[in-house]
Amino acid sequence: MVNARFSVDSVPDNGIDASLFFDAVKGIPFAMVFDFNETKTYIELLSDEPDLYVKGICYRIPGLELSKAATGPSKGNFRIGSFLKVNLDSREVLKTSHGIFEDCFNLGIEKGTFGILFLPAKDQEIEYSSKEIENSLTSIETKETSSINSRIAGYNSSYSTQHDVFYNSDDKIVLGYILNSINKALLKGSAVYKTLFFTDVENPYINNYLHSKFLILESGLVYNYGISDIAEYLSKSKQIILGSNELGYLLDFEGIHRVNHIIETGNFPSKGDIGIGTIMKHAVLDSNRGLYLDRSILNLGVLISGLPGTGKTHESMAIVEQVIKLGIPTVVISSTKEWDNFAYDNNLYCVRLLNDKSPINFFSCPDKSNRDKFWRDLAMLLASASDAGPYRRPLEKCLIDAFRRIYKSTGSPSPADVIEETIKSIIDMHGKRTNTGVKYTKHGENIKAALENLIDLLSNAEYSSEFGIKFEDMLGKGAVFDASEAGSNMKKLVYSLILNQFYSIISSTDESGDNSLRMLLVVEEAELVFKDDDSPAVEDMRTRIQDFRKKGIGLIFITHGALEIDSDLRRLLQIKLYFRQSSDMAIYAVKDLLSDIDNDRLVSKIKHMPSGVFGLSSISKDGYHRYPMDLLFLKSLFYNYAGKRDRDLIKGYLKSNSIPIPEEIYENLVFSGYPELNTADSQSEKNYKILQRISKLVLKYMGNKVYEVPFDKLEYGFNLIKDRVYDLELSTENDVCLLHLAIKPSGIGMKIGFTLRHGKLGIVEN
């Protein structure tokens, strides 16, 4: 037989049923070993197939997890001995539900081991012991006679009495108990064991500790013994045998280990083509039985939530991969790079925003979409994402005013024109033009400031072009939009711009898709857009979720915490996969799960789940009928990257559609000499003063400074985006623009000359 050692890695929070443990190891010798060096409990088995027995133990006792120990089996110089634990006052052998050694690792002992060996008794040993005990019991006197002499009225008299002595016989109590335990075990089909303790010879403290726990009947020393040697010794010696039902107090799983929280959950039929995971028996033991949902269930909305590292992204990828293999177009908006390789594996477009220079005009209305609805939704989403605070509604009004004008003549305006028109609207509503520039009201200043992130985003060459990739083309094949390079504030804008394109494309979809899945939208870190309950984007999504279901559009939100999105949205998302939650969120998260389980137990479970396990609240479909499922716990799926690296899909798309990638060029700006001025003429004198006040040259795009240099020479060179329109300003030290010219770099250089028009100084491109 093999002597194998297993570490106790976790135990169930509701304790261990000793009878189940003994049933699982019935027929083989085993030892409970307490190691003070590692503060751990080990189980050592003597068997030809120890792994098989361990698997059976863990299956019979959900929550108990055993793994092959890194250290070898016990071996050394031991004091071994037999023992018995009897409580004579209560007339029964003491049995404890928590184990007799629960305080062993609180003694300050830092080295050494001790253990209890359990050796199944042979049939002839059981028969012999039973007969011995029966003979001993029948030979013990059961009656005792006593006499009393008395003298009454001068006469002597004598009385004798007899009484039972059974209840005064300690020997008979112990023997009766042992015989009863053997008979009870045999009747129940349980095992009967011989037991022996062993401790390190060199550590007397452990020996003293054992003396405090039970009666040591006899002991001796053995040298260089292992568990198999001790078992052989025990098999040849005559020892007390007891039924396993009376030995439960010796099973103790102390020391360093995890606690598995046991939850009794329901069972539900598994029907569908989208695998979600494998059902966890009692919420801790993987049954290897998969749970499947019908694909159309995804259009009820899915919320996947969990702390970082709990497995929610791999679970999401595994679900989405199955959807893609069914031929269903999928769009993923991601805040991390994790989804890039997923896109390459599954032959999706991967648009790495602010990274791969793919040109996108976020203001271009998709073909066949309602243009008016497009720009109205765009205004609402941009205002919500711009952190305008109390100025959100005024900003939205300015955007609507600008969009109404600009989209009247075109469905694909230049981003620069959009910003220009928006600034005009802000000036018209919250400012006025003066001789020295524009003066804004307080509202106007704050509204304009709220546009800074948008202008900053559009200042990137790839997002300033009038032409770019078409989102309807991306959706046809499926795409991942990676926004990991964007800052947190800019991510809100990027998410909103992409969502508006998606909303616009699906707006023309008919509403007969309730029992199908036509398209899937996945939003990672959905709280970026859908957190605040007073946000118009959230209010809008509350309505869209209903439309998504009717149109057959699946929706998956991924968040770090269950409460990080609006509570109304959370209620409308009918499928919830909750991985481990933080302590402050767990108490609220359990309310989302359909369960009658005690809340305290469920909160503890949600807080302590290991990675790769989640609670599922879902809907099952049978034909056209949908039914709520009881709470289940599942082992999550794991997405294995295939390692494909076809990164040229976007490049191929741009090339085949003749979409140019914005090109950065070096542009020379050469100024010609000043015009001749007649100082005797008053206008010429004004022009002369203007020239004297020029202090710097400023290049701007969408109102943002791109370059600012001293104006102290006539030739300059700048790195600029080809064919982009810049504002060239010659300004004073205090940023007052004196002369202005719009330029469009071409890479061949520009000659700029001063000119007099009607006597007024200006600059022109020659």
Categorize the per-residue pLDDT at 228 as very low, low, confident or very high, splitting at 50, 70 and 90.
very high
- In the three-class reduction of DSSP (H, G, I as helix; E, B as strand; rest coil), residue 505 is classed as helix
Question: Which residues fall within 8 angstroms of residue 19, CB to CB, at 6 or more apart?
Answer: 190, 244, 245, 248
Residue 398 to residues 69, 150, 294, 388, 403, Cα–Cα distance (Å): 69, 121, 45, 12, 9
Q: Which of 160-174, 334-348, 461-475 has the lowest mean pLDDT?
A: 160-174
Are 574 and 593 in contact by the 8 Å Cβ rule? The answer is no
766 pLDDT exceeds 80? no
pTM metric for this prediction? 0.84
Instruction: Answer whether residue 96 shows pLDDT above 50.
Output: no
Residue 231 CB partners (closer than 8 Å, separation 6+): 29, 46, 117, 119
Report pLDDT digits (tens) over 532-549: 888 999 999 999 999 999
Instruction: Using the structure block, give the residue that is written with the tokens 């033009």.
Output: 433
From CA 59, how far away is CA 64, in angstroms rounded? 8
Q: How confident is the model at residue 146 (pLDDT cuts 50, 70, 90)?
A: low
- Dihedral Cα 442, 448, 449, 454, nearest 10 deg: 160
Q: Which residues make Cβ contacts (< 8 Å) with residue 418, sequence separation at least 6? A: 363, 402, 403, 406
Q: For 262-353+469-662, CATH number?
A: 3.40.50.300
- Which amino acid is present at 177? Y
Residue with tokens 């509202």: 443
Across the strands, what pairs with 710? 696
pLDDT at residue 570 greater than cutoff 80: yes
Q: Which residues contact 306 (CB under 8 A, 6 or more apart)?
A: 312, 560, 578, 579, 580, 581, 614
Beta bridge pairs of residue 762: 755
pLDDT band at 89 (very low <50, low <70, confident <90, very high): very low
In one letter, which amino acid is 730? L
* pLDDT tens digits, 480-531: 999 999 988 899 999 999 999 999 999 989 999 989 999 999 999 999 999 9
Beta bridge partners of 47: 2
pLDDT at position 156 is: 54
**Amino acid sitting at position 448:** K
569, pLDDT greater than 90: yes
Q: The tokens 């309602």 sit on which residue?
A: 370
Q: Are 614 and 577 in contact (CB under 8 A)?
A: yes
Q: What's at 205, amino acid-wise?
A: Y
Q: Is pLDDT of 425 > 50?
A: yes
Range(s) within the chain of domains with CATH label 3.40.50.300: 262-353+469-662
Distance CA 222, CA 225 (A): 6
* Gap between the Cα atoms of 400 and 421, Å rounded: 10
For residues 230 and 222, give the distance between their C-alpha atoms in angstroms, rounded to a whole number. Answer: 9
Phi and psi dihedrals of 344, rounded to 5? -65, -40
Q: Give the residue from 173, 167, 197, 236 showing the smallest Cα distance to 81.
A: 197
Fold of 664-765: Immunoglobulin-like (2.60.40)
| Tens-digit pLDDT profile for residues 38-56 | 999 999 999 999 999 999 9
> What's the full length of the chain, in residues?
766
pLDDT at 207: 85
Residue spans of beta strands (DSSP E) within 153-273 = 155-164, 192-200, 215-226, 241-243, 258-260
